[in-house]
Structure 1
């Protein structure tokens, strides 16, 4: 009987034809039991608990194990369900039975897993993130998705073979997105809007940390033609443990003292505003000529 690691490696092996080497862009083969290897000899082993490490060297980030555990717990409460429901509806509009989906900035994988599970099609899903702790957790928790520690500006996939790229509250590399996206593919980007978590900003920063998404939207529209855009705004009541998880996962809480966090938690259940812009983009027509 195969071990869990061997099972994950076999799953990656079945998807080998989708990969290209992140170093030289050559096609890849799979050498059992655990190695993805390109035609020029660059080799990448499947690591425990079943993910690929595709960076030239390790990278330190502020996104640690505790952050991703908090993020997963909060997602499981349904805090982001209205957002992911809209993403799912956009993907379901794509008229083909098989889809290759990439979550660029997948974190611990919860959003991608939920989305892939709800799509009634044959889905090959990839989750890429530079934060190793998130990818390790994702591979541990979700067996039917390929996760890799990878640079979003140098993703290990072949040109023009991806149907959907999801980019949720994460930095983007639009040139790379355009490279791997099919000519009729879609990019779905989620960005925070002005009132996103405004209660935390007001409490911690006296609302001095006001966020504007204007420049982010402009950059997206420079790179892709907008097929659809909409704003998703709603409020959720969070109890103290959920609020603690929210503060642990959002960069808004990174520079706040533990004393001030404890003060907010002492007030008990809080109503929090969720405010996003979802933009669906396609390749510019000029890019297709």
Structure 2
């Protein structure tokens, strides 16, 4: 079976959770690999198995090299392994529907590794993953390598997800649209937002910057979360991982922290055989405030 048809068949399993991003009507998946609504707005699945539902041209800030670096470091180093376990544990605690797959949507999924690793840990549960990102380069990589989720190129502001159809939303180090999250979440649904804490990638910040970017505060981000969602839990994750020289190179490639520093500082940071890298994340767990 081609990846195109396989991707369409996976999407058919969660067709109840999808809508046309143009008119908002329900959609169906045709056998030839098309997503179609009653107004005949049509979106073809690509050969890699993803579907592009963008309604206007859009360019992401990240390129293929960044996504490939992120893929390598997440697959090989265990940099985010405790985070993936923590999210999977939260999902296991939820009461998911018994008559259809629960839908776990990663909004801002990038190249898909976070969602893939979390779904691996949820093996045996009747849950389907869906990854959405505006960056086609990232979604192409996700669909090419991971056949365990539905992959969509799309804009959160014109989301292809139906009202109250998503059981768990993941928003990992990415911008939020809380109005859309509220619209998308099913009754009893959960939003899990990962935000960097003050020590996140401390070693990289301190090596590359001498100004205020050496430190980070997530107070404003948390305040915005709390204005829109009822926070039920905050899970702090604090650990360090030893990365070798090649992994440090990928760390630099994958993060916007390295986009505009002094090139000499980058060279000095990479001139070592290994380094301990700090990961500090806060997982904000919440429910819509009106339910």
Q: State the TM-score, normalized to the length of structure 1.
A: 0.94
Tell me what 2:51 maps to: 52
**Which of the residues 185, 190, 199 maps onto 2:189?**
185
Cα RMSD over matched residues?
Answer: 1.4
Alignment partners' CA distance in 2, 1:80 and 1:144: 19
Kept after mapping to 1: 8 A contact 2:3/2:47: no
Task: Specify which of 206, 209, 212 is matched with residue 205 of structure 1.
Answer: 209
Are 2:267 and 1:262 aligned? yes
Kindly indicate whether the alpha-carbon contact (under 8 Å) linking 1:201 and 1:207 is maintained by their aligned counterparts in 2.
no
Within-5 A mapping of 1:147-166: 147-166=151-170
- Equivalence map 1:1-289=2 (5 Å): 2-76=1-75, 77-96=77-96, 97=98, 98-119=101-122, 120-206=124-210, 208-209=212-213, 210-284=215-289, 287-288=290-291
Structure 1 contact 198–207 (Cα < 8 Å) conserved: no
Q: Distance in 2 between matches of 1:28 and 1:56?
A: 15
The runs of 5 or more residues in structure 2 that have no matched partner are none
Matched residue count: 285
Q: Distance in 1 between matches of 2:237 and 2:12?
A: 38
TM-score normalised by length of structure 2: 0.94
Contact 2:50 2:152 in 1 (8 A): yes
Counterparts of 1:140 and 1:275 in 2: how far apart (Å)? 30
Q: Deviations over 1:89-128 (max 9, x none)?
A: 1111112354211000111111101111211311111000
**Quick check: 1:16–1:30 contact (8 Å CA) kept in 2?**
yes
